[in-house]
Amino acid sequence: MDAAARDRLLEQLGRETYVSLATRRRDGTERATPVWVVRDGDVLLVTTGATTAKVRRARRDPAATLTSCDARGRVRPGAPTTPVVVEVTDAP
């Protein structure tokens, strides 16, 4: 992905209230859950409980995908999906 495409995707996903974060289970299947998202410069930040399964999966395998969605996790037709690398932080 070139820099312009990355910037457009960051801009689009950064305007969303929710994104579907799909992390991988041990057997490789994806598990998608809706999370709040906010753009902070060149990164997207999401928040969730520290002991959730998605955090455990992301700590084990940081490869994931993000897709625009609504609060219930329903993905809009044609919504872009992008691969991401999750960095779990315990910052307040």
2.30.110.10, 3.30.420.310, 3.30.420.250, 2.70.70.10: CATH of 3-85: 2.30.110.10
Confidence of residue 1 (pLDDT cuts 50, 70, 90): low
* pLDDT of 68: 92
- Residue 65's Cβ-count burial label (10 Å; 0-12, 13-18, 19+) is middle
Could you tell me the pLDDT band of residue 81, with boundaries at 50, 70 and 90? Answer: confident
Domain map of the chain by residue range?
3-85
Amino acid, single-letter form, for residue 90: D
| pLDDT tens per residue across span 3-60 | 888 788 888 888 889 999 999 999 999 999 999 999 888 889 998 888 999 999 999 9
User: Taking residues 56-83, what's their average pLDDT?
Assistant: 92
